Structure 1
Amino acid sequence: MRLTPCHGVFAYVANYSSDSISVIDTKTNTVTTAIPVDDGPVYLAVKRDGSRAYVTNFDANSVSVVDLGTNTVLKTLTQNDGIGQRPYGVALTPDGSRAIVANQQSGSVSIIDTGKNVVIKTLTGDDGVGTDPSLVAVTPDGSHAYITNQGSSNVTVISIRKAAVTGVITEGIGDFPYGVAITPDGSRAYITKATRTQSSVSIIDTRRNTVIRTLTSSDGIGDLPLGLALTPDGSHAYIVNRNSDSVTVLRTRDDRVVKTLTTDDGIGDEPIDVAITPDGSRVYVTNQVSGSVTVINARNNRHIETITSGIGGSPFGVALGGGHGMPHIG
């Protein structure tokens, strides 16, 4: 099958130890530039039209607002602007009007009005946010955000319109929930979890906000699953397993593992995050220790290439923007 490049789509990689964002042209899989940001960038979310990125800077306690037309920082939101301590996960609503930031150390969630680039609401533990909130996903209709809380081993559900917590999912979540991704129809949320004794993925029915199934290593989940992303059609989930240096390919129709990509398939040392192009043709995996990005052909799950030139130190989160469709949000 011939692979068609994604014209006008860029992959953006947060380089934790280089304090920069690498910009990858997915047509050529080359880094075109590096954007300096604040200290310790970890995750980022990109507007679907590719115009802006919101970058969480873990060490600086800030969020960088980046103009992707000029590849420059427009504004840096700090604690004085309402960002909490150790901002980590971030997600945008589909219309790009709100950015939801999980502040890990302060146990809070900041909601940013992206039109004015101001924090309009901060939700805390008193409002129902859990301990050590980590990653964020927004439902396709933009109504709710799901936030994993590693410390309290639960998932917070927020109404974005009301800027209020509407639910906390605890039963069936298990210890240390981390990654979260929601199916394109909004019916299910996939949650990665990892402890010293067991690595697993729980599946939430978002209509009832209950866990309906948990997949473990016996089902093919790798060691220490972290980031995950769903294909635009929702048919497959790609789950990165940090300790086993692998990526699990899960068929969501029956939640069966259909492929495990390993170092033999080009996966690097300690993969941490994953994103998929809007047309579903390519998968981008950040390998933190290798300092590289692996590109996979999603049509046949074969290695295309590994990008090292232009990738900064400790590549962490990855997001895609431009073209058409829904970008991955970390």
Structure 2
Amino acid sequence: MTGGGMRSRRRSIDKAGGIGSAVAVGAGLWLGVATLVQPRLALADEAFTTDQTASAVSVLDLTTKKLVATIPVPGKPAGIAMAPDGRYAYVTSPEGRDVSVIDTAARRVLRKIAVGEDPLGIGIDPSGTFVYVADFDIPYLYKVDVQKGVVVGKAKVGNSPCGVAVTPDGKEIVVADRNDDKISILDAASFKEIATVAVGKHPFGVTIDAQGKRVYSADVMSNQVSVIDLATRKRIGIVKTGMHPYVVALGKTYGFSTDELSGTVTVFDLATLKLVKRINVGDYPEGIELSPDGKRVYVVNWFSNDVWAIDPKTLEVVAKMKVGDGPRAFGTFIRKTP
């Protein structure tokens, strides 16, 4: 599922089993209580990492750089989408075949919504009304109404869909179709595919810039990032990365890709698409996101069980923080506090 060789201790949890096409709705309340006591109102920005091996979500205080809570989430969680207001986090569990709705302040799972056979990538619209979930085993994207807790739409996409991103205006959705070496673009209103664009081999993470003009696709087996113009539906550039890029984060000047097999972050200039630097990080980096103020880049290292912070100006590592076992944080995982 990841586009490359995984360590044997992780291979079994990186692919969900089961074949089928049923869409069910979970209505029960799941009392996933955090194992550490924490006040309901946090005072600092936080990172919520999906710890796949541990079947949990770690909550990391980004000011104190300490783990402040661990929330049980069964089913080997992988993908995550943070609500725009930070009140909820939506987590996919490939082996649980569901999405967990987490109250970020209370540190608990409110409910679980059954979605597809192997839910992996997840994106959220700017209003926070819907999440879009990619089913890796079955080539569908699901539309979930998070207030009602129900699946309200299903759209056919390419084979083995992974990453999901939504334009800032909420009008279009982009999905990485791993085994078809392309991205699919869907109209959010009609929930139908309106275009596809060929990229490199095995795209995994997709990221849309703040202007809604460009898509950045991490093409795992091509060791590159493809840059797509959303208006023309054409690839307009390629950035060479380290081995097996997984996810791209965007700052004001630079783009950052996690290079899983190289254990690096590739930094490139967004204007010229030229390499700026490669930064050594932890073991098998995957999730990556900028802080809300843009002053830090947070890198989640899947095999070394930690989160590293990079200063986007100096391009130096400034902190290393431990989390649970097997963190992926595939999606948006930073919670900005009120």
Note the C-alpha offset of 1:50: 0.9
- The residue correspondences of 1:99-114 to structure 2 (distance < 5 A) are 99-114=131-146
Counterpart residue number, 2:324? 312
Q: Is the 8 A contact 2:200 2:224 kept in 1?
A: no
1:250 to 236, 258, 268: 268
Counterpart residue number, 1:301? 315
Secondary structure of 1:38's partner?
A: coil
CA distance in 1, matches of 2:232, 2:188: 18
TM-score by length of 2: 0.84
Give the counterpart letter for 2:328 in structure 1.
Answer: F
1:181 to 190, 204, 207: 207
Q: Is the 8 A contact 1:278 1:323 kept in 2?
A: no
Secondary structure of 1:17's partner?
A: coil
CA distance in 1, matches of 2:337, 2:270: 25
Give the counterpart letter for 2:243 in structure 1.
Answer: D
- The residue correspondences of 1:120-135 to structure 2 (distance < 5 A) are 120-124=152-156, 129-135=157-163
Q: Is the 8 A contact 1:204 1:213 kept in 2?
A: yes
Note the C-alpha offset of 1:193: 0.7
- The answer as to 2:174 corresponding to 1:158 is no
CA distance in 1, matches of 2:60, 2:306: 12
Give the counterpart letter for 1:250 in structure 2.
Answer: F
- The answer as to 2:298 corresponding to 1:270 is no
Counterpart residue number, 1:286? 300
Identity %: 28
Q: Is the 8 A contact 1:41 1:58 kept in 2?
A: yes
- The residue correspondences of 1:86-235 to structure 2 (distance < 5 A) are 86-124=118-156, 129-170=157-198, 173-195=199-221, 198-216=222-240, 221-231=241-251, 233=252, 235=253
Secondary structure of 1:186's partner?
A: coil
CA distance in 2, matches of 1:49, 1:252: 28
Give the counterpart letter for 1:193 in structure 2.
Answer: D
Give the counterpart letter for 1:56 in structure 2.
Answer: T
Q: Is the 8 A contact 1:7 1:26 kept in 2?
A: no
CA-to-partner distance for each residue in 1:300-327, whole Å, 9 max, x for gaps?
Answer: 122122112xx11111115112248xxx
CA-to-partner distance for each residue in 1:66-121, whole Å, 9 max, x for gaps?
Answer: 1112111111011xxxx111111001111111101001001111111122121110
Counterpart residue number, 2:39? none
CA distance in 2, matches of 1:292, 1:215: 27
Structure 2 stretches lacking a partner, 5+ long: 1-41
Give the counterpart letter for 2:234 in structure 1.
Answer: T
- The answer as to 2:87 corresponding to 1:51 is yes
TM-score by length of 1: 0.86
CA distance in 1, matches of 2:210, 2:47: 20
After TM superposition, which residue ranges in structure 1, 4 or more long, deviate above 3 angstroms?
A: none
CA-to-partner distance for each residue in 1:242-264, whole Å, 9 max, x for gaps?
Answer: 111100111202112212101xx
Distance 1:295 1:20, change over 3 A: same
Q: Is the 8 A contact 1:38 1:62 kept in 2?
A: no
Note the C-alpha offset of 1:299: 2.6
For the aligned residue pairs, the C-alpha RMSD in angstroms reads 1.5
Q: Which has the higher contact order (CA 8 A, sep 6+)?
A: 1
Q: Is the 8 A contact 2:237 2:273 kept in 1?
A: no
Q: Is the 8 A contact 2:181 2:200 kept in 1?
A: yes
Counterpart residue number, 1:12? 48
Aligned length: 295
Secondary structure of 1:312's partner?
A: coil
Structure 1 stretches lacking a partner, 5+ long: 1-5, 325-330
CA distance in 1, matches of 2:298, 2:288: 6
CA distance in 1, matches of 2:304, 2:105: 29
Give the counterpart letter for 1:156 in structure 2.
Answer: S
CA distance in 2, matches of 1:284, 1:183: 17
Q: Is the 8 A contact 2:239 2:275 kept in 1?
A: no
Give the counterpart letter for 1:200 in structure 2.
Answer: Q
- The residue correspondences of 1:58-73 to structure 2 (distance < 5 A) are 58-73=94-109
Counterpart residue number, 2:16? none
CA distance in 2, matches of 1:257, 1:323: 34
CA distance in 2, matches of 1:178, 1:246: 17
Q: Is the 8 A contact 1:135 1:180 kept in 2?
A: yes
CA distance in 1, matches of 2:204, 2:108: 30
CA distance in 2, matches of 1:69, 1:7: 11
Note the C-alpha offset of 1:215: 2.3
